[in-house]
Amino acid sequence: FCMGAAWREPKERHLEPVIDMVREVKAMGLETCVTLGMLKAEQAQRLKDAGLDYYNHN
């Protein structure tokens, strides 16, 4: 299940709801993918820790 957003880089207030969505989708037994723009290393780690399977960066 891939989720995307149209911003250059996610602000902290936007990232936490995405992390919650990743956890909820993983709980349904689906693979997860997001495309969110440029991430900081800490943001990428938080997504990974939430169970993110793939990150699409154009």
Residue 57 — pLDDT band, cuts 50, 70, 90?
confident
SS (H, E, C) the chain: CEEECCCCCCCHHHHHHHHHHHHHHHHCCCCCEEECCCCCHHHHHHHHHCCCCEECCC
Tokens of 36: 């969110």
Domain range for 12: 2-55
| Res. 58: pLDDT tops 80 | no
| Res. 7: pLDDT tops 90 | no
* Overall number of domains in the chain: 1
DSSP letter (8 states) at residue 33:
E
Sequence letter at residue 25 = V
- pLDDT of res. 6: 86
